[in-house]
């Protein structure tokens, strides 16, 4: 392993399912980590335990750390939304014996990472006509549904986190209305995350199955019974040739809901600079996203359809965008300080 420098930084992208960790050197750049690893989040009792295991393996000393976490961060403290971890900057500094530790929302980190992407890191769904200095929206369905945005301050883009994935789900057709009624009986409050994430996609599947939209194949029922996570099974069956009709209907509804909420976010922040669709699921279903359903739902906003037709829409292909963004936020804070 190459020699480190005092500015060497540990960055983490902490999700409900998996966590990516990497060590970066500013001299080498944020696209080429000195070391990196991916860990099942639920296999560790805490973030510090995971970090110790990673650093013991790679044996690269670090001078500070920055973590993007899937949950609201208030005063350097976060309770992970889909993981039983409490993360605090002060505790992490002491436990890891590091002078500098920063905890930010994971979508804050992803939004910052968007600024570091190159053309090869993106799949463009709509070129649009981006406005110089226009706000940028980021929506990221993974285990949960994350949302963020960036605004131009006259010198550079500033990222802003949100918890927009937890706002009330708004159905746009009769089938979605029926699904909402089913899920309200089950959960009470139904957010977009309940239907537009890795956790939510099985809810769509069960709703369509109960509605008799298509038959569930016996082989699929058996596979779902034993699968630790039904979402990858449903996605694969939807994209396979021949495809499962029930899974294809599920994925189609998921994509329509994702497009509708991406359009909602674009209107809320007036994202004339573009919308970036990040997260693990969009990369996995890219062929389906490139079909008409996503953009049709994105633009179906009545009098504002013309405005959204001018908004560029990109899918983020680079899975390390959150790591790069977390590292860039830490470097920016150190520079400003």
Q: Which residues contact 22 (CB under 8 A, 6 or more apart)?
A: 10, 11, 12, 33, 34, 35, 36, 37, 320, 323, 327
- pTM of structure: 0.92
Q: What is 207-263 written as a DSSP string?
A: HHHHTTSSPPPHHHHHHHHH-S-HHHHHHHHHHSSSPPHHHHHHHHHHHHHHHHHHH
* Alpha carbon separation from 213 to 222, 312, 315 (Å, rounded): 19, 34, 29
- Residue 279: phi, psi to the nearest 5? 95, 165
Q: Where along the chain do the CATH 3.40.367.20 domains lie?
A: 165-316
Architecture of the domain delimited by 165-316: 3-Layer(aba) Sandwich (3.40)
Query: What does the pLDDT read at residue 17?
Result: 82
Per-residue pLDDT of the chain (337 residues; tens, 9 = 90+): 444 445 789 999 998 788 999 999 888 888 889 999 999 998 999 999 999 999 999 888 888 899 999 888 998 998 877 778 889 999 999 999 998 899 999 999 999 999 999 999 999 999 999 999 999 999 999 989 999 999 999 999 999 999 999 999 999 999 999 999 999 999 999 999 999 999 999 999 999 999 999 999 999 999 999 999 999 999 999 999 999 999 999 999 999 999 999 999 999 999 999 999 999 999 999 999 999 999 999 999 999 999 999 999 999 999 999 999 999 988 876 655 5
Closest among 170, 175, 227 to 204, alpha carbons compared: 175
Architecture of the domain delimited by 9-113+320-336: 2-Layer Sandwich (3.30)
Query: What does the pLDDT read at residue 257?
Result: 98
* Alpha carbon separation from 277 to 37, 58, 316 (Å, rounded): 24, 32, 6
Q: Where along the chain do the CATH 3.30.420.40 domains lie?
A: 9-113+320-336
Query: What does the pLDDT read at residue 2?
Result: 45
């Amino acid at each position: 392993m190459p020699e480190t420098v005092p500015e060497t930084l540990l960055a983490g992208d902490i999700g409900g399912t998996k966590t990516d960790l990497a060590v970066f050197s500013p001299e080498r750049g944020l696209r080429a980590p000195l070391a990196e690893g991916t860990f099942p989040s639920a296999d560790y009792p805490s973030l510090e335990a995971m970090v110790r295991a990673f650093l013991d393996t790679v044996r690269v000393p670090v001078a500070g750390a920055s973590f993007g976490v899937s949950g609201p961060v208030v005063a350097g403290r976060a309770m992970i939304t889909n993981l039983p971890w409490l993360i605090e900057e002060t505790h992490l500094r002491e436990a890891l014996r590091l002078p500098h530790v920063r905890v930010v929302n994971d979508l804050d980190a992803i939004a910052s990472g968007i600024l570091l992407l190159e053309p090869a890191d993106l799949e463009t769904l709509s070129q649009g006509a981006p406005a110089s200095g226009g706000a940028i929206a980021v929506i990221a369905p993974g285990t949960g549904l994350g949302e963020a945005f960036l605004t131009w301050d006259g010198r550079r883009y500033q990222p802003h986190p949100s918890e927009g994935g937890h706002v009330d789900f708004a159905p746009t057709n009769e089938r979605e209305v029926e699904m909402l009624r089913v899920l309200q009986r089950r959960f009470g409050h139904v957010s977009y995350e309940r239907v537009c994430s890795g956790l939510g996609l099985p809810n769509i599947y069960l709703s369509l199955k109960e509605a008799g939209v298509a038959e569930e194949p016996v082989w699929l029922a058996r596979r779902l019974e034993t699968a630790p996570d039904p979402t990858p099974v449903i996605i694969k069956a939807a994209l396979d040739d021949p495809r499962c009709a029930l899974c294809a209907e599920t994925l189609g509804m998921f994509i329509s809901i994702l497009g509708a909420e991406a359009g909602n976010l674009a209107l809320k922040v007036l994202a004339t600079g573009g919308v970036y669709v990040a997260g693990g699921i969009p990369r996995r279903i890219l062929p389906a996203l490139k079909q008409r359903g996503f953009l049709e739902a994105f633009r179906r906003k009545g009098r504002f359809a013309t405005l959204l037709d001018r908004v560029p829409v990109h899918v983020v292909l680079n899975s390390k965008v959150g790591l790069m963004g977390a590292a860039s936020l830490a470097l920016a804070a150190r520079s400003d300080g």
